[in-house]
Structure 1
Amino acid sequence: MTEQRIGIIDIGSNSIRLVIYERTSGGAQRVIDGSKRAARLSERLNDDGALPSETIDELVDMINHFRLICAHHRTGHIRAVATAAIRNASNRSEVLHRIEAKTGLPIELLSGEEEAGYGFLGMINSMAVRDGFLIDIGGGSTEVSLFKDRTLVHSVSFPFGCVSMTKRFAKGGMLGDQQLRELEQYVADAVEGEAAWLKRTPGLPLIGVGGTARALGKVHQAHSRYPFESTNNYPITGPSADELFELLRKEPLDKRSKFPGLSKDRVDIIVPGVAILRAIFRLIGSSHYIVCGAGLRDGLFFATRFPERPRLDDVLTYSVNNLAALHPEAPMQHTSHVNRIVLSLMDVLQGQLPIPEQARQLIDVASILHRIGASIDYYDYRKHTFYLMTNSHINGLSHVELLMCAAIASYKGKNRVKQIAAAYKPMLGEAEIAVICKLGTLLQLAIALDRSETQAIGKLGIEISGGKLHLRAIRAEGMLAVERKEADALAADFKKQWGLTPILHTPDYR
């Protein structure tokens, strides 16, 4: 088991973080532990640009603490990296030497380009996006990258971040009008001087990774009373971000600390951080923001675990298969067979009836994961499936698509779908409810056709005629009595949704 666990230590400018990843016996990847310590290293540099000796001692203590956590989990490999605060310190050689000597861990000092590359890898492996800009606003640096066709094209690292900009322009966390103009001019000068290419591709989304972007996403969700908690793949319009920025900027720190969704350790640095974000957004002419829940540490994990091919070709397929592998109690042969049946049904029905373009993808995901709730309790497993799907990392779907997949996988009837929709207003409206009911009923029919969980139907012929959906078991073992009875029981509900009566035709074994 020791070789199957990787610890990533990220010595950032604002915080020091540990994440421990595990590869399970079933081949799935998951996080099993994590820890965070505030550091604010960028604001602790002295007048000579050096980190004081007592700060280095504190760093050593934190990293040794993280090493003990890794040892507790029998972590086979620990990878520790340092970013802007140590990169920009005038005594960085001394800092690295002392940390390595007193912890026994080699510390990789990442360049700005390397930091941008790992951040891009973490993002591109968690979102199904092809083209855009990526921004990571740390405590002491800001990395901005352009990617096209899921490939990194350009990247630049600016030597300023939310902590250093707070120290320079917003002492005490308050950013007045004049200071805001000066900060924005400072960012504009940096872009003009180091990365004029940023202005040449307008109209693309600006995807934010790291603490500033996630903090903005959480505050925006709380402020707008967004009913879904995940910040990964969360879109924000430019005007909406501007409005929230002004609300935060005008609040004194004692009131800002009570702002919904804002963590206490970001009260003073959130406004300068978002000011950098807005300045870059305007300079590059972005279409909108997207918050990404992954980032540097995730990129380091993929690069360490899969050094030959760290970038995923299909984000959604990887995350769905990973989630399925985390719940081996679900009978894999049965769910795979149900998946094949339901996709065969979709191929026939999609050409006959109006179904949204993404319907095949939704039911593909739902059919693979519909039994994962049994890992909690078989009884009422649908309820547990819904919870697990909406609280797990299923990357490559929008929030609405994820909710629809979970509702399809856990389908028990239209009333239950309406209850779910009521809890997630306004994300799920009448159009989404109609699709969920259609696809949920279709999935229940596919499950019924393998109710014995023996994969008895080897090949299924499907045709529509005379208001009936004829299902012919061309290759079958046995009389399929269980499957026939289950399909008959579903017939009335299926007809309500599809206008067709399903009939299972079985071979004559007289």
Structure 2
Amino acid sequence: MTEQRIGIIDIGSNSIRLVIYERTSGGAQRVIDGSKRAARLSERLNDEGSLPSETIDELVDMINHFRLICAHHRTGHIRAVATAAIRNASNRNEILHRIEAKTGLPIELLTGEEEAGYGFLGMINSMAVRDGFLIDIGGGSTEVSLFKDRTLVQSVSFPFGSVSMTRLFAKGGMLSDQQLRELEQHVAEAAHGEAWLKGIPGLPLVGVGGTARALGKVHQAYSKYPFESTNNYPIMMQSADDLFELLRKEPLEKRSKIPGLSKDRVDIIVPGLAILRAIFRHIGASHYIVCGAGLRDGLFFATRFPERPRLDDVLTYSVNNLAALHPEAPMQHTSQVNRIALSLMDMLQYQLQSPVQARLLLDVASILHRIGASIDYYDYRKHTFYLMINSHINGLSHMELLMCAAIASYKGKNRVKQIATAYKPLLGDEEITFICKLGTLLQLAIALDRSETQAIAKLGIEISGGKLHLRAIRAEGMIALERKEVDALAADFKKQWGLTPVLHPPDYR
């Protein structure tokens, strides 16, 4: 299959963005390029509510620039959409016509409801959350949605965002107590018109878009969080409130030096967070969750998989996608290791406090344990760890992802302790023990196919006399290599599980 590329251009109220997705010959999806330009379109609407001609010309230049990037990558399909700023402009028809005439690209003008739908799709395909509210604070609009059992139930698009609220209440980016009360009143009046927003208190509020991601990045920098992903990052109400007040009190020149906050968001972050807090309180949410995906990801899934854009199983999809991006390990071998690891797990789960979580993490780790060989076979475990924590493995918490990567790359307890030290407080003594147990279990499964020939077609597993008896019920050819490997790691395994593994030939009674 030839490579296929899709370019998504998102003409937002605050910024214009391009993302180019590629489908590899192995069937995996990945982002191969992207670009962003600050636009502040909501800010540039004149008193009649129209975008000035020179702003439209700038927009045309940006989109032509993005088209050149797409052409450079031989992008087969470009989908360009516009949101609130153009939707709210009184001369929107002229804007769309001029862009299409001068770039050759038709622009889809999304309704507020469509924008909410694509944002939901991007979020639900990158997180394993089942029920909650979703908020996307753009420059000129704010979409709020309710989802239950991973299905969108209801959504609304409010005609205000971080840029327009800055213009209305916080010129220069500073928000006094009085201006804050007025902004909150403005949000509350709009929200009161949607009775369903108050229907289910106690659900998380998932944030997509620039304001939510900025909150996540600043919070992580402020709390010295050891892991660099903002996707699926929880923040409690009090922490968010404290950060909001910290940012609000800082003058702009000091605010621009706050770690984690990008320069083009310094003046609009406080009004954006004020909207976020007001909606949080209105719906009675339990906590915030920052999501790293959003509108552009939703547009990609809707374009690539028009029949079934929503994923049933986020974790399985992202694990299989990552495995397909790094196909150096023989698939038959990783499948065999995976099957054996889960069979061993089923026999030994009585020793674990959380066997369901253990099985899930071992399943992922066993599929991905060799992906590091795509960088270098020697030291592939180190590369596997790096690739796993820096790739999009969606559907796991940050702690679970770190544990999973440590299990997949297991080399001994000392290495696990080094990893745990680097990622305190996410990994403590309990997690170290858990990783070592599952890491040795995975190493045993790898040893049982050391020849990578799937010689053991069927494995019998029994426990007696302090031994884990492994019997090759059906073996195709010699298993001497496997027996030697099992013997070599028997002492390590016994330390973790209190059992000595022994591999018996098929004729053993």
Q: Give the C-alpha shift of residue 2 in structure 1.
A: 7.5
1:323 aligns to what? 322
Which residue in the other structure is 1:82 paired with? 82
Q: Which residue does 1:414 correspond to in 2? A: 413
Q: The residue matched to 1:357 in structure 2 has which SS? A: helix
Contact 1:28/1:326 (<8 A) preserved: yes
Matched residue, 1:134:
134
SS of the residue aligned with 1:401? helix
Q: Percent same amino acid among aligned pairs? A: 90
> For 2:46 and 2:353, how far apart are their aligned partners in 1?
66
Separation of aligned partners in 2, 1:357 and 1:156: 38
State the Cα deviation string for residues 235-280 of structure 1 (Å, max 9, x = none). Answer: 0000000000000000000000000110000000000000000000
Structure 2 residue runs of 5 or longer lacking an equivalent are none
RMSD: 1.0
The residue type paired with residue 155 of structure 2 is S
TM-aligned CA deviation for residue 52 of structure 1: 0.2
**Are 2:113 and 1:113 aligned?**
yes
Aligned position for 1:435? 434
Deviation at 1:478, TM superposition (A): 2.0
* 2: CA distance, partners of 1:478 / 1:300: 51
Counterpart position of 2:251: 252
Please tell me whether residue 192 in structure 1 is matched to residue 192 in structure 2: yes
The answer on whether the counterparts of 1:3 and 1:75 sit within 8 Å (CA) in structure 2 is no
User: 1:183, CA displacement in angstroms?
Assistant: 0.4
Classify 1:352/1:398 alpha carbon distance in 2 versus 1 (closer, same or farther; 3 Å): closer
Following superposition, the deviation at residue 457 of structure 1 comes to 0.3
Q: Deviations over 1:269-293 (max 9, x none)?
A: 0000000000000000000000000
User: Contact conserved, 2:336 with 2:449, CA < 8 A, in 1?
Assistant: yes
In structure 2, the partner of 1:359 is 358
Cα separation, partners in 2 of 1:181 and 1:413, compared to 1, 3 Å: same
2:153 is aligned to 153
Paired residues, number: 508
Alignment of 1:311-460 (within 5 A): 311-351=310-350, 353-460=352-459
- Give the corresponding residue for 1:26: 26
- Superposed, which structure 2 residues align to 1:493-508 within 5 Å? 493-508=492-507
Separation in 1, partners of 2:386, 2:394:
16
Verify the 8 A CA contact 1:2 1:75 in the aligned structure 2: no
Q: Which amino acid aligns with 2:135?
A: I
State how far apart, in whole Å, the 2-side matches of 1:330 and 1:241 are: 44
Q: CA offset at residue 464 of structure 1?
A: 1.0
Distance, in Å, in 1 between the alignment partners of 2:17 and 2:214 is 16
Q: Which runs of 4+ in 1 moved over 6 A?
A: none
Kept in 1: contact 2:3–2:25 (CA 8 A) = no
1:214-250, Cα deviation, whole Å (9 max, x unpaired): 0000000000000000000000000000000000000
Q: Provide the TM-score with structure 1 as the length reference.
A: 0.99
Contact 1:369 1:385 in 2 (8 A): yes
Tell me how far apart the structure 2 counterparts of residues 464 and 444 of structure 1 sit (CA, whole Å): 19
1:354 Cα deviation (Å)?
4.0
Q: In the aligned structure 2, how far is the partner of 1:331 from the partner of 1:263?
A: 43
Question: 8 Å contact 2:3–2:24 — kept in the other structure?
Answer: no
Residue pair 1:470, 1:504 contacting (<8 A) in 2 also: yes
The separation in 2 between residues aligned to 1:339 and 1:350, in whole angstroms, is: 16
Offset of residue 357 of structure 1: 3.2
Amino acid of the residue matched to residue 83 of structure 2? Answer: T
Return the alpha-carbon distance in structure 1 between the equivalents of residues 3 and 279 of structure 2: 42
For structure 1, the 5+ residue unaligned runs are none
Q: Which residue of 1 aligns with 2:10?
A: 10
- The correspondence of residues 12-91 of structure 1 with structure 2, limited to 5 A, is 12-91=12-91
TM-score of the pair, normalised by structure 2? 0.99
* Contact persistence 1:100–1:106 (CA under 8 A): yes
Correspondences of 1:456-467 after superposition (within 5 Å): 456-467=455-466
* Other structure's SS at 1:469 match: strand
